[in-house]
Amino acid sequence: MGVDTPLQTGSRCVLLRAVSLSKSYTRGGRWSRRRCQVEALRSVDLEIRTGSTMALIGPSGSGKSTLARCLACFERPESGEVWFAEENLTQLSPRELIPFRRQIQLIFQEPEASLNPRFRAVEIVSEPLLIARVGSKSERRERALALMELVGLGGQLRSRVPFELSGGQRRRLAIARALALEPRLLILDEALTGLDLSTRAQIANLLLELQKARSLTYLFISHDLGLVARFADDVVMLDGGRVVAGGAHEPLTTCGKTQSRNLLARAPGSVAVELP
Amino acid sequence: MIHFLAHRLFRAVFVLLGVSILVFVLIDLAPGQYFQEMRLNPQISRETVAALQVQYCVGQSLPVQYWRWLKSVSRGELGFSLAYNSPVWPLLRPRIGNTLMLTAAALVCSWLIAIPLGVWMASRAGRWDARVSSVGTTLLLATPDVLIALGLLALALRTAWLPTGGMHRPALDSEVFGRIKDLAIHLLLPLCALTAAMLPLLVRHVRSAILEVLHSPFIVAARGHGVPRSRLLFGHALPAAANPLISLFGVSVGLLLSGSLLIEVIMSWPGVGPMFLQAILERDPHVVVASVLFSTVFLMTGSLVADVSLYVVDPRIRVE
Amino acid sequence: MLKRNKKLLLLGTSLILIHILVLGAFFFAPYDPGEQHRDNPFAPPTRLHFVDSEGKLHLRPYVCSWANHANGIGAPQYVEDCSRISTLRFLVRDERSHSLRGLGMAWRLFGADGPAPMYLLGTDDYGRDQLSRLLYGGRISLFAGLLATGLSLALGLLMGGVAGYFGSWLDDIIMRGAEVFMALPWIYLLFAVRAFLPLEVGARQSFFILIGVIGVTGWARPSRLIRGVILSAKERDFVHAARGFGASHSYILRRHLLPQTSAVILTQAAFLIPQFILAEVTLSFLGLGVGEPVPSWGNMLASLQKYYVLESYWWMFLSGIILIPIFLLYNAVANALSARLERADAEVRSSMGTQKLQVAS
């Protein structure tokens, strides 16, 4: 990761590859008159290299979260393929998919909503272990506490419910949970949004440390271009469900739309990204 | 608007069909049969019973019976009553009229009392007189309808102010006015019982709806403009609280229909209630189905009126 | 905060005490419910005397017996005959009682020690003590309400859970069915379903039939509410997260979704129990519920359908009047619980932020 080495089209291996992903939604109920198709993704291609941080940017409604959910196997694309470590995920049945889903973890747009308000912190973190039937109850508890320590949550917080934690603490909890099954890819959907500057910096640093310590690969979705410019190795930009800049076959030297160009130009600290 | 109405009516027909099938199935599954009683009667020969059974197609399968019933409905007969030996509709029609008379009167009376009372209680919330009436309402709400009806009946018996049963005096009055007065006097007791049973729930809801609205900014602003109190309450607050109250109107129709059954039975008001009960006890299937359908139709009408009013009154609903 | 909890606690305890009272009718009631005193039909409540005719104070009150001066012609006319009295004693042995012997005990909380019978709440047309019947009858009425509510909520949970969780055509069918059930006024539905079952049944069977009928007719509204809870909970990210870890349907339903319904279920229970008690009373009153000789508050009220009873014997109203404090308690509990539910919802919403719908972003 580097601030002054913008793009490395090196020969590091590819962890996740998306090929021509398309997905559309139907809005409106089954009998509603206002039923229409919304094309969320249109033939999206993407390559994420192992150990790197890829940023996914774009205006609201461009399909970023949909893409994240497709890559994390929460939704099936209508057409196209998702390859993870030489395995075609889109061909697998839900049961066969389970071990792969554990290796790709999604940290949701609002971590607050992704934590069950009735669960205690240690239960939240140990839940993936429980579902995957890893270890005995005490072993799970120990691992959960260790994970909490790792993300900077002290042991005294173990019996707190999410309501009793601060915003930054909740994000850390979500991260701890995501790490429980030792994933290889973390998709962070706006994970730093809504935090104050100092907390944001802390969590960002935590993510950096974790990446180094555990050789994680990140797909970082954000509309904060400053952050993107600082942390990302690669950048992909979505607009209207299409990749308009970056990605596997379009390095950022060819920029499709003026809007995208303006966006990138306006970002603070975007000197690292060069445009024609 | 037409679209909305058409959609609702379409659904209503479906639901009615569903209800009729449900009740038909239930009645048919019921053990015991009208003719079992007859069979036990030694004076009627077995052949007669068998012949009657064939005549009324009692032994045939359920879909066949249902189809015959549907045909009878289309002819306007609504099936055939075994107990009365006549098509159902002529039996039910006067009864429906009587029940509607009682229910509609109770609907009007209870809402006419509930709205001013609820508004008054909301406007004077916290003061002793409103508190007392609140306690009274709670008490009345907790009193079962059976008890209210029996209590009023006991009062009428003791004081002999009001007749305690039926719809008319035995001697028929020749002039219209006298008949109407007689009817009104007989109606009064069941009307009071039904209104008293319905009232506390309505008052409660009106009160809480108005209370909620009274705290909203536009009311405070209107008060600041010097709008007089009664106009404020009835001209500004009440319309704003209209939505939940209109929905409540639809619900109250259903509750009144339920309440009226019990009251009619207790006070011998010749409505659908006593006939329905009798038909159940005697296992007269077509009468049971017809009574249930009548009550469903009127409940649905009440809901439809409420929905249409909501649609008309609240522009937000039209956008959905 | 604590004050509100205290109020709920108080209400809940009172209700529990009442239920204990009726469950322990074999101890608390002075007589068997079926014990007839044919020479004292419709006897008014016996008066407890603390001071006798000579002005002497008795610490143990006594009752005088009723002498019927009508001698079998027309309505009974009772006059107190204080030549035959009984004193009120606590913890009496009752050797004659069948039910006590069946339970292996012979004690009652209080009883009349002497020749005069003690009818604290009067008697009915068979001369059966109304106080005892009231206590025994409470078992039927109160517990019919409770059990029917349990059945109704269980059905509602099942239907609403399935409809909300699995969605699509299953949801459609179940909700249309609920619509049909809710399209009828409640009493008509109740009677129609009751009609489907045999009319001439023994007391125990009719009790369970009653519970079944009331419970089954009441599934629609709870199922709608539960479906709503499950629908909104199902879309929350913590469910998605669990699914991402490979959780099965049953795990998600069990650990994440069903606990969310607990508040709604509790509140619904508090609203439904009094309604269902009333349903039992109404059905038994009209002869469609529990029948003679088993007492239930409904069939005890049924004697009031005769005008002469209605007019003269006010104590027969008691089996209906007793419902008023019970309903007051239940209504208060229901109001408190639903206020709590609203407050909890508002708190969660304000602190955690509403979850945005994730259609496309």
Query: What percentage of chain B has pLDDT greater than the value 70?
Result: 85
Count the residues in chain A: 276
| pLDDT greater than 80 at residue A266 | no
Contacts C232 to A, Cβ<8 Å: none
- Which three-class secondary structure state does DSSP give residue A154? coil
Query: What pLDDT is recorded for position A276?
Result: 40
What is the rounded CA–CA span in Å between residue C346 and residue C324? 33
Hey, which residues does A188 pair with through a beta bridge? A107, A220
Closest CA to B253 of B200, B187, B301, B289: B301
* DSSP code string of B211-257: HHHHTSHHHHHHHHTT--HHHIIIIIIHHHTHHHHHHHHHHHHHHHH
Question: Is B252 or C209 the better-scoring residue by pLDDT?
Answer: B252
| C122 to C52, C310, C321: CA distances (angstroms) | 21, 14, 15
Query: What pLDDT is recorded for position C352?
Result: 54
A 10 A CB-CB count for C319 gives 29
A 10 A CB-CB count for B69 gives 22
Query: What pLDDT is recorded for position B150?
Result: 92
Candidate from A204-218, B40-54, C55-69, C287-301 with smallest mean pLDDT: B40-54
The pLDDT tens digits for C178-228 are: 988 888 888 888 888 887 777 777 778 888 888 888 888 889 999 999 999
Query: What pLDDT is recorded for position B256?
Result: 93
Count the residues in chain C: 361
Q: Which residue has the tokens 């259903």?
A: B254
Contact A106, A43 (CB under 8 A): no
Buried b (16+ CB within 10 A) or exposed e, C329-348: bbbbbbebbbebeeeeeeee
Q: Indicate yes or no: CB of C361 within 8 angstroms of CB of A27.
A: no
DSSP secondary structure code for residue A136 in this structure: -
pLDDT band at residue C331 under the 50/70/90 scheme: very high
What is the rounded CA–CA span in Å between residue B277 and residue B255? 18
Q: What average pLDDT does chain B have?
A: 82
| pLDDT greater than 70 at residue A258 | no
| pLDDT greater than 50 at residue A270 | no
Question: Is B111 or C4 the better-scoring residue by pLDDT?
Answer: B111
| pLDDT greater than 60 at residue B37 | no
Query: What pLDDT is recorded for position B58?
Result: 57
Rounded mean pLDDT, C125-145: 90
Query: What pLDDT is recorded for position C102?
Result: 65
Q: Indicate yes or no: CB of C327 within 8 angstroms of CB of B153.
A: no
Question: Is A107 or B174 the better-scoring residue by pLDDT?
Answer: A107
Q: CA dihedral defined by B252, B255, B259, B260, rounded to 10 degrees?
A: 60
Buried b (16+ CB within 10 A) or exposed e, A38-54: eebbbebbbbbbebbbb
Query: What pLDDT is recorded for position B281?
Result: 83
Question: Is B264 or B219 the better-scoring residue by pLDDT?
Answer: B264
- Strand order of the β-sheet with A234-239 is A104-107, A185-189, A217-221, A53-57, A234-239, A242-246
Which residues of chain A are at the C interface, by a Cβ-Cβ cutoff of 8 Å? Answer: 25, 27, 38, 40, 60-66, 69, 72-74, 98-99, 101-102, 105-106, 108-110, 112-119, 127-128, 131-132, 162-163, 177, 181, 241
Contact A99, A44 (CB under 8 A): no
First to last CA, chain A: 23
Candidate from B69-73, B167-171, C84-88 with smallest mean pLDDT: B167-171
Rounded mean pLDDT, B80-86: 77
pLDDT band at residue A256 under the 50/70/90 scheme: very low
Burial group, residue B174, by CB count within 10 angstroms (0-12, 13-18, 19+): exposed
Asked if the peptide bond before residue A183 counts as cis, ω within 30 degrees of 0, the response is no
Contact B215, B122 (CB under 8 A): no
Burial group, residue C3, by CB count within 10 angstroms (0-12, 13-18, 19+): exposed
Residue type at C225 in one-letter notation: L
Residue type at C71 in one-letter notation: N
What is the rounded CA–CA span in Å between residue C333 and residue B67? 49
Cross-chain CB nearest to C184 (options B29, B157, B296): B296
Cross-chain CB nearest to B281 (options C199, C317, C324): C199
pLDDT band at residue A10 under the 50/70/90 scheme: very low
Query: What pLDDT is recorded for position B141?
Result: 93
Contacts C314 to B, Cβ<8 Å: 154
Size of interface B-C (CB pairs under 8 A): 135
A 10 A CB-CB count for A105 gives 26
| Percent of chain B as helix, strand, coil, to the nearest 5 | 80, 0, 20
Phi, psi of C123 (to 5 degrees): -130, 170
E strand map for chain A? 14-27, 36-49, 53-57, 79-84, 87-88, 104-107, 185-189, 217-221, 234-239, 242-246
Nearest chain C residue to B146, by CA? C282
The pLDDT tens digits for A118-138 are: 888 888 999 998 888 888 888
| pLDDT greater than 50 at residue A249 | no
| pLDDT greater than 80 at residue A30 | no
What is the rounded CA–CA span in Å between residue B258 and residue B145? 10
* DSSP code string of C162-230: HHHHH-HHHHHHHHHHHHHHHHS-HHHHHHHHHHTS-SS--HHHHHHHHHHHHHHHT-HHHHHHHHHHH
Q: Write the Ramachandran bin of B242: left for phi over 0, alpha for psi from -120 to 50, otherwise beta.
A: alpha
pTM: 0.82
Closest CA to B231 of B243, B213, B249, B219: B219
DSSP secondary structure code for residue C129 in this structure: B
Residue type at A145 in one-letter notation: L
Q: What average pLDDT does chain A have?
A: 77
Query: What percentage of chain A has pLDDT greater than the value 90?
Result: 0
What is the rounded CA–CA span in Å between residue A161 and residue A159? 7
Query: What pLDDT is recorded for position B274?
Result: 92
Query: What pLDDT is recorded for position B55?
Result: 56
Contact C288, B278 (CB under 8 A): no
Query: What percentage of chain A has pLDDT greater than the value 70?
Result: 81
| pLDDT greater than 90 at residue A157 | no
The pLDDT tens digits for B124-164 are: 878 888 889 899 999 999 999 999 999 998 888 888 777 77
Contact B268, B274 (CB under 8 A): yes
DSSP secondary structure code for residue A243 in this structure: E
| pLDDT greater than 70 at residue B217 | yes
Q: What is the largest CA-CA distance in chain A?
A: 58
| pLDDT greater than 50 at residue C356 | no
pLDDT band at residue A32 under the 50/70/90 scheme: low
Contacts of A182 (CB under 8 A, 6+ apart): A214
Q: Indicate yes or no: CB of B276 within 8 angstroms of CB of C320.
A: no
Phi, psi of C7 (to 5 degrees): -60, -45
Contacts of C297 (CB under 8 A, 6+ apart): C134, C137, C138, C140, C141, C281, C284, C319, C320, C322, C323
- Which three-class secondary structure state does DSSP give residue C159? helix
DSSP secondary structure code for residue C45 in this structure: P
pLDDT band at residue C360 under the 50/70/90 scheme: very low
Nearest chain C residue to A127, by CA? C242
ipTM summary value? 0.84
Interface test with A, best of C170, C236, C237 (most A CBs within 10 A): C237
Query: What pLDDT is recorded for position B30?
Result: 63
Query: What pLDDT is recorded for position B136?
Result: 92
Count the residues in chain B: 320
Closest CA to B56 of B317, B223, B285: B285
| Percent of chain A as helix, strand, coil, to the nearest 5 | 35, 25, 40
Interface test with C, best of B25, B211, B280 (most C CBs within 10 A): B280
Q: What average pLDDT does chain C have?
A: 83
E strand map for chain C? 49-51, 57-68, 78-93, 107-113
pLDDT band at residue A267 under the 50/70/90 scheme: very low
Candidate from A52-66, B19-33, B141-155 with smallest mean pLDDT: B19-33
pLDDT band at residue B104 under the 50/70/90 scheme: very high
Query: What pLDDT is recorded for position B124?
Result: 83
| pLDDT greater than 70 at residue B34 | no
- Chains touching chain C through at least 3 C-beta pairs below 8 angstroms are A, B
Q: What is the largest CA-CA distance in chain C?
A: 94
- Which three-class secondary structure state does DSSP give residue C348? helix
| pLDDT greater than 90 at residue A92 | no
Query: What pLDDT is recorded for position B317?
Result: 64
Parallel/antiparallel/unpaired status of strands A234-239 and A53-57: parallel
Interface test with C, best of B261, B264, B287, B301 (most C CBs within 10 A): B261
Nearest chain A residue to C250, by CA? A131
Closest CA to A73 of A49, A99, A53, A51: A99
Parallel/antiparallel/unpaired status of strands A87-88 and A36-49: unpaired
Query: What pLDDT is recorded for position B191?
Result: 93
Question: Is C357 or A268 the better-scoring residue by pLDDT?
Answer: A268
| pLDDT greater than 60 at residue A247 | no
| pLDDT greater than 80 at residue C97 | no
